[in-house]
């Protein structure tokens, strides 16, 4: 048997294994919503114990991970129809494999994450001229100078912002507004109640440390406009409204959508 690939990740970074595992589990179903061959390959190779997550993880949480990927895929594919050479910046990429599902042969892709994550990522995923890795925290603004923008740019941020304080996220948005006017950003958010539930049912259930707990919960999406009037809403993506679910999951999903416990926001940052 081939030896598993070991890792040396920090507590927050270890959460990257959960959505990867969720995509792999979904891919094995008879009628999957999403098939992610790259996730299946990585799960077989990485040295990580998924047994506790498998025993305790809530169905709705896993469905949310899959829907988040489906939304991201759809937004990127739609952009590539208008801008075939669009630039996608995948912030906090972890072991995300969106590129493998959506590449049109022309887009420019950047994967950004912390040094320990990028080191692990290189063991499973290769760089190319159109798929470039950047080692940095998104809060370190120097990395923005490395981006080459040919037409449109989309910042893709999944499973990242709620690990930081609101002021840190706001500062990043203001930076993008000034440096990349007309850019777009797609990211997931949780309400304060959603943050509490996620910490109790997801992070703790997976056996992760309290250092992995989420922090920022968005009370009302309109609060973002108070950060800067140049922020424009393009679309709100709810997770559970259009899915075929069991009666229990349908009820719980409806409540989640109603109270904004977890969803995605698609915004334009100023006018280009």
User: Residue 2's pLDDT is what?
Assistant: 63
pLDDT digits (tens, 9 = 90+) for 221-255: 999 999 999 999 999 999 988 777 888 888 888 88
Position 11 pLDDT exceeds 70:
no
Position 24 pLDDT exceeds 60:
yes
User: Residue 205's pLDDT is what?
Assistant: 52
* Average confidence (pLDDT) over 29-41: 91
User: Residue 234's pLDDT is what?
Assistant: 97
Position 1 pLDDT exceeds 50:
no
* Average confidence (pLDDT) over 110-124: 93
Confidence label for 97 from pLDDT (cuts 50, 70 and 90): very high
User: Residue 157's pLDDT is what?
Assistant: 97
DSSP 48-94: ---HHHHHH--HHHHHHHHHHHHHHHHHHHHHHHH-TT-EEEEET-T
- Which one-letter DSSP state was computed for residue 202? I
User: Residue 210's pLDDT is what?
Assistant: 55
User: Residue 61's pLDDT is what?
Assistant: 82
- Which one-letter DSSP state was computed for residue 33? S
Q: Which CATH number fits domain 13-269: 3.30.210.10, 2.40.110.20, 3.40.50.150, 1.10.630.10?
A: 3.40.50.150
Confidence label for 7 from pLDDT (cuts 50, 70 and 90): low
pLDDT digits (tens, 9 = 90+) for 166-212: 999 999 999 999 999 999 999 999 998 888 877 776 555 545 455 55
Position 93 pLDDT exceeds 90:
yes
- Domain segments of the chain as ranges: 13-269
* Distance between first and last Cα of the chain: 54
Cα–Cα distance for residue pair 159/229, rounded to 1 Å: 25
**Of 6 and 91, the one with more pLDDT:** 91
Strands 231-238 and 262-269, bridge-based pairing: antiparallel
**Of 78 and 11, the one with more pLDDT:** 78
User: Residue 236's pLDDT is what?
Assistant: 96
């Amino acid at each position: 048997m081939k030896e598993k690939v070991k890792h040396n990740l920090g507590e927050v970074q270890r959460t990257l294994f959960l959505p990867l595992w969720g995509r792999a589990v979904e891919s094995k179903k008879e009628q999957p919503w999403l098939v992610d061959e790259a996730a299946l390959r990585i799960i077989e190779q990485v040295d990580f114990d998924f047994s506790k997550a498998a025993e305790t993880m809530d169905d709705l949480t896993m469905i949310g991970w899959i829907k988040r990927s489906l939304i991201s895929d759809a937004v990127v594919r739609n952009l590539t129809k208008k801008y075939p050479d669009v630039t996608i910046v995948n912030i906090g990429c972890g072991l995300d494999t969106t590129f493998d599902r959506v590449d049109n042969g022309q887009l420019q892709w950047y994967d950004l994450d912390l040094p320990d994550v990028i080191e692990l990522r290189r063991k499973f995923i290769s760089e190319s001229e159109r798929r470039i890795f950047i080692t940095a925290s998104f809060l370190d603004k120097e990395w923005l100078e490395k981006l080459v923008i040919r037409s449109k740019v989309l910042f893709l941020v999944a499973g990242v912002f709620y690990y930081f304080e609101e002021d840190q996220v706001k500062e990043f948005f203001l930076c993008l507004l000034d440096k990349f006017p007309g850019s777009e950003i797609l990211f997931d958010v949780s309400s304060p109640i959603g943050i509490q539930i996620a910490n109790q049912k997801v992070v703790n259930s997976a056996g992760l440390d309290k250092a992995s707990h989420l922090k920022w919960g968005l009370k009302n999406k309109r609060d973002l406009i108070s950060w800067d009037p140049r922020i424009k809403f393009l679309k709100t993506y709810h997770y559970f409204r259009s899915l075929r679910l069991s009666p229990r999951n349908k009820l719980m999903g409806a409540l989640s959508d109603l109270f904004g416990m977890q969803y995605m926001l698609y915004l334009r940052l100023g006018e280009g």
